[in-house]
Amino acid sequence: MIGSIKKFTSILVIAAVVLAGSTGCKKFIGLERQTDWEFTPVTLDPNVKMSAWDYLKSRALGSVPADTVFKRMYQGIIYSGIDTNEYNKPNRTFIFLHNDAVRRVVSNLVQPDSYFGYYRVGSPLRPANSWEEYPQDSVKMWLSYLIVDGVYNFDNLTPVNVEVPTLMKKGINPRNPESVINLRVENSGNYPIRINDFVGTLRATTVRSGGYVTTNGAMHVVDRIVEYNRAP
């Protein structure tokens, strides 16, 4: 009797395996058999379909906090008095400051890899709380350094540094009298973009998200400070 039960159980197990492995589309226990699904990668459109200035404002002045990632940069631009039309002029590359690049806080401490933590103010020195604690000319100089003359994106950058001019006035900074910035991609795979990498004692900055195409050039976003000095 026990032998017959074992034999019958074995038959049921074999039948279940055969049904489960069937390549047909028959229903099994009330469910249709899952069909194969092929993943199709999708490349996001890098074109923002507006000027750099309009895009910056669209992501700085919104009513939803999560969509105001350039708010602090926008505040710096307004305070500095830089001509906002510079962000509308053609044939340029723009480095945008995510809010974290201006003031990044971890455990209630402003981090030294953000502008307010790196360029400290007061006596004794402490991290800044607002752009207004800096001279307007200094803020204007920093922001001018983040506008590059010429369009540099994934299609023309290589793992070799390219030294390019910025809008920072020449001679204003004795440690970078030519007011240049260096751009390259990390590897032959074209990702990510690195700023001032392998340049003396400069702090290298990795682009957080890059490759945006504006109607007047290219745009890359950083969430850390971009140091404008050169090696002494």
Per-residue pLDDT of the chain (232 residues; tens, 9 = 90+): 444 434 434 444 444 433 344 444 444 344 444 444 443 443 467 899 999 999 999 999 987 777 899 999 999 999 999 999 999 999 999 999 999 999 999 999 999 999 999 999 999 999 999 999 999 999 999 999 999 999 999 999 999 999 999 999 999 888 889 999 999 998 766 679 999 998 877 789 999 999 999 999 999 999 999 998 765 5
Predicted model pTM: 0.79
Domain 52-222 part of CATH 2.30.180.10: yes
Spans of all domains in the chain: 2-32, 52-222
Task: Tell me the torsion sign for CA atoms 219, 223, 228, 229.
Answer: negative
Q: Mind giving me the DSSP string for 154-220?
A: TTT--SS-EEEEBSSPTTSSTTSTT-EEEEEESSTT---EEESTTSTTPPPEE-SEEEEEETTEEEE
**Residue 218: predicted pLDDT:** 98
**Residue 95: predicted pLDDT:** 98
Q: How far lies 89's CA from each of 4, 57, 94, 167, 170, in Å?
A: 88, 16, 11, 12, 20
- Residue type for 46, please? P
**Residue 188: predicted pLDDT:** 66
